[in-house]
Chain A
Amino acid sequence: MPELRYLEDVVTLEFDVEKCTGCQFCTWVCPHGVFAMDGNRAKVVDRGACMECGACQINCAFDAIHVQRGTGCAAAIIASWFNGGKVSCGPTGDADSEGACGETPKGSGCC
């Protein structure tokens, strides 16, 4: 099966190797193998695969990673034009609405 890949050179992921302590958290949390260890520090090995989920940033205790996280969802983006809010799952973007994604990938077999 051909590999599913989205657009290259669009994501906002930034990595500051100087701040990295090599704690490995980013390599554990990234669902797309964007980070790998390179000796005692992390390295971005597949930037184009990043989906801007933000898992690496929130789990990096050393502020080495920055990404404008968000939901890669056209329906959520359209909804945000009408409610003027930020792009988030759900028609209203609040925590109680699951919105357009419904069951999601996300539900089939994941924890």
Chain B
Amino acid sequence: MPGSKVARPRLDQPFVIGAIDTPFGEVPVIPAALTRADRVGGYKVRWGIGRYTYTVDPGLYALGAPDDRSPVLVSANYKLSFDALRRELVGRDAWILVLDTRGINVWCAAGKGTFGTDELVRRIESAELSFMVSHNIVVVPQLGAPGVNGPAVRRDTRFRVVYGPVRATDLPAFLDAGMRATPEMRRVRFTARDRAVLVPVEAVNELAIAAWVALAGVLLSGIGPGWYSLARALERAPIAVLTAFAALLAGTALAPLALPWLPGRMFSTKGAVAGALTAAAGLGIASLAGLALSPAALAAVALFMVAGASFGTMNFTGTSTYTSLHGVEKEMRVAMPLQIAGAVLATALWIAGGWF
């Protein structure tokens, strides 16, 4: 409801279960516990279905039965962020102040500045927060800090920003400790579980690249003595397709999952090793199964898996929680010429494999 001063979220959103009447409009009431519909929605969005429209209305919500002393917790209007916060607050009462981040999670939105100082100040005002609570604290998730100038919020409103923990799961302990976070709560991790959740997203993101590579591989497979032969293309195509998708799997699934145990600090190194291991395993199985590949084709397959997986894993830098811009730039300067050379050489060898 742009334009109107008090913009309350709509009451007809599916997760709203009631309303609190105030002189400044009705504040929607939401339960802490997630419903089946909430969970199904979250599952779908992890596979990329409707990701950009998985939103809630920005503004103030009442979780449970908050009063003027209840804490105010700030979140983003990406429903997954909103739900991650909700489900940790079972048995508690709180105000949830949702910023308009255009359906993007807190950390990414903070990086862009949509989860930011101006938006927070605007929402504090448009939600009439001063009227709703008697204290002066807004709890902002720590990962929102890259977008929020805490001292400036204090200057521009009567509210003080207290940075909450990185993970919503630590919120109960943080609140119970009088809004104090332990050093552990302030650290971002990148656990096996975090990485596993990201694998489908990453694999789907790069699926198109693998499909194009597979198609190119199939087309090139027909080249050989007598210039082009469809029969030869069809005969060699399965290996080309398998190679493209094995590289994808090695780079976007195996390497992310095995990240801490793969050697090197650069993601491209870790990916190259994952590609080499996958190639060794795949070619080993193929030879046991009695598949005879020419030396040139063998080298092409192995080389492409190393280069392709290296590139795939390098793209995982953006998904990780600990890479810096200048670090990734350095990594790319080193790795990309090698990846490109590897892919070109692999292509040449694959074509040569039509003869030898």
* Residues on A facing B (Cβ under 8 Å): 1-7, 10-12, 23, 25, 28-33, 49-55, 58-59, 61, 68-77, 87-89, 95-96, 98-111
Contacts and interface: CB of A to CB of B under 8 A. Distances in A.
The number of chain B residues touching the other chain, given as a range, is 35 or more
B111 A53 contact: yes
A25 B151 CA distance: 9
B112 A6 contact: no
25 contacts: A7-B265, A29-B146, A32-B188, A32-B322, A51-B322, A53-B111, A58-B148, A58-B149, A59-B151, A61-B149, A74-B318, A74-B331, A77-B332, A87-B325, A95-B114, A98-B51, A100-B319, A102-B48, A104-B319, A105-B107, A108-B193, A110-B143, A111-B73, A111-B75, A111-B81
A69 B204 CA distance: 28
Contacts of B201: 102-103
Interface of B: 45-46, 48, 51-52, 73, 75, 78, 80-81, 84-85, 102, 104-108, 110-114, 117, 141-152, 163-169, 171, 181, 183, 186-188, 190, 192-194, 197-198, 201-202, 204-205, 259-261, 265-267, 314-315, 317-332
B102 to A, nearest CB: 5
B325 to A, nearest CB: 3
Given A31-B143, A71-B111, A77 B329 contact: yes
Closest 6 CB pairs of A and B: A73-B318, A70-B325, A111-B141, A72-B323, A29-B145, A55-B145
Contacts, number: 227
A7 B266 CA distance: 7
> Could you say which of A12, A88, A100, A104 has the most chain B C-beta atoms within 10 Å of its C-beta?
A104
Contacts of A32: 187-188, 322
A108 B198 contact: yes
A102 B51 contact: yes
Contact of A89 (B111, B321, B332): B111
A107 B187 contact: no
A16 B165 CA distance: 27
A10 B202 CA distance: 26
A49 B321 contact: no
Nearest to B330: A10
Given A72-B328, A74-B332, A75-B315, A106 B321 contact: yes
A111 B84 contact: yes
A102 to B, nearest CB: 4
A88 B318 contact: no
Contact of B105 (A75, A76, A104): A104
Nearest to A86: B325
A100 B85 contact: no
A76 B164 contact: no
A7 B329 contact: no
A82 to B, nearest CB: 14
Given A31-B188, A77-B332, A6 B323 contact: yes
Contacts of B205: 100, 102
B163 to A, nearest CB: 5
Contact of A73 (B144, B260, B328): B328
A12 B194 CA distance: 27
